[in-house]
Amino acid sequence: MEYAHMLAQIDASTLLAVGLILGLGGAGTAIGFGLLGGKLIEGTARQPELGGMLLGRMFLVAGLLDAVTFVGIGIGMFFVFANPFAAAVKAAAGG
């Protein structure tokens, strides 16, 4: 009975942590894109002749910003599908 309770507690804690990782990652990306777009408009309004160059650099930074979120998604999915904490409890219980 204690074994099942420990696994349930580990699963609940893992899902809560993954939810926080995905939610805060998405919120951080949204804030980053908002700041990035605002600075692009500000820079283009200040020097319109550099608009094309600024747009290219904005897309580069936007790709890097998305990459950080995808790393968080990958880590979250690792903990959902291959939870090392649950495997440690199973190994300690002999199952």
Q: Where are the domains of the chain?
A: 18-88
**68: its two tokens:** 């950080």
Q: Is the pLDDT of residue 94 over 70?
A: yes
Q: The domain at 18-88 falls in which architecture?
A: Up-down Bundle (1.20)
Residues 50 and 44 sit within 8 Å (Cβ to Cβ): yes
Whole-prediction pTM: 0.78
| DSSP secondary structure letter of residue 47 | -
| Cα pseudo-dihedral 82, 85, 87, 89, rounded to 10 | -160
Phi, psi of 94 (to 5 degrees): 85, 20
Identify the residue whose tokens are 């990459």.
67
In whole numbers, what is the pLDDT of the chain averaged over residues?
Answer: 91
- What residues act catalytically? 66
Residue-wise pLDDT tens digits, 15-46 = 999 999 999 999 999 999 999 999 999 999 99
